[in-house]
Amino acid sequence: MPAPADVDAPLGIFDSGVGGLTVMRGIMSRLPGESILYLGDTARVPYGTKSEETVIRYALGCARVLVGRGIKLLVVACNTASAFAVDALREELGIPVLGVIEPGAHRAVQTSRSGCIGVIGTAGTIRSGRYQAAIQSLAARSRVVSKPCPLFVPLAEEGWTHGAVPRAVAHEYLDELLAQRIDTLVLGCTHYPLLSDVIAEAAGPGVALVDSAEATADAVAGALAAMGGARKPPAPEQYQFLVTDDPAGFGRIGRRFLGRDLGSIEWVDVA
């Protein structure tokens, strides 16, 4: 990978909405000193229920906005967009592109002792089979069982992350996977880490949870190091936020995902 023209340029992150802020949080913590430009496609969220063609079209639109603002590397924080659009983005953009699926799959293979790995995600992510393929290409003998869990996204956005309702939903989704005796469970959607307490409780102590957000931060650090593109402090990093729908609503919900105030948020139109 060639070094970026401007190592001071921000990392770009995009997601269908607020969920990718959990990935941003991981990158902020792993790579202090790097500036980040985040785009949440809140006018068209969610991606997880939509078709491959539509997700690719939306992902290209978002990426073009970020590239137009001079990012040095693109992180596709949305699992569904990672599943469907990373190849199309790499082909078009001319800058390094990292999705969340390969890092998550890698971490899952490192974590599992039995080789029996569960993957949960949106309908689109699971239908794509990309986690399953990535895990199997790293560990051919592993057995992957997967399950779409669409209700976890609205639960996390509603803030219902503890209590009877999310507990009942988690059991409804996970009991079938647990019957397959998995020892590792990949949280294959950026919203799911907010529900990790109830998911861990439903999964029981014998199952390790893998958060793709953390694994992705390591991959970004590795890619920056490899391309000689890491930023040199002491100039302070900057965090900027773009959204395609109402900035105020994004700021309110986003705070829960990022773990801190977002500051000013700019509206952009994405074709």
In angstroms, the Cα distances linking 195 to 78, 166, 169 are 17, 8, 11
Question: Could you tell me how many residues of this chain bind a copy of itself (CB under 8 A)?
Answer: 26
Stretch of residues binding a copy of itself (CB under 8 A), selected from 24-32, 102-110, 112-120, 155-163: 155-163
In contact, 99 and 37? CB cutoff 8 Å:
no
* Residue 149 is a catalytic residue: no
Provide the phi-psi class of 56: left if phi over 0, else alpha when psi is between -120 and 50, else beta. Answer: alpha
128 interacts with a copy of itself by CB under 8 A: no
133 interacts with a copy of itself by CB under 8 A: no
91 interacts with a copy of itself by CB under 8 A: no
Q: Minimum Å distance from CB 188 to a copy of itself?
A: 17
Nearest 5 degrees, angle CA 206-CA 191-CA 138?
A: 55
Quick check: helix, strand or coil at residue 145? Answer: strand
Distance CA 256, CA 156 (A): 10
228 interacts with a copy of itself by CB under 8 A: no
Cis peptide before 234 (omega within 30 of 0): yes
Distance of CA 24 to the CA centre of its chain: 9
The tokens describing 42, both together, are 């809140």
126 interacts with a copy of itself by CB under 8 A: no
151 interacts with a copy of itself by CB under 8 A: yes
150 interacts with a copy of itself by CB under 8 A: yes
140 interacts with a copy of itself by CB under 8 A: no
* Residue 78 is a catalytic residue: yes
172 interacts with a copy of itself by CB under 8 A: yes
Q: Minimum Å distance from CB 164 to a copy of itself?
A: 5
Residues 31-70 that bind a copy of itself (CB under 8 A): 42-45, 49-51, 53-54
Stretch of residues binding a copy of itself (CB under 8 A), selected from 107-115, 151-159, 190-198, 214-222: 151-159
Burial state string for 146-173 with b = 16 or more CB within 10 A and e = fewer than 16: bbbbbebbebbbeebbeeeebbebbeeb
Q: Which residues are catalytic?
A: 78, 189
Contacts to a copy of itself by CB under 8 A: 42-45, 49-51, 53-54, 150-151, 153-155, 157-158, 160, 164-165, 168-169, 172, 244-246, 249
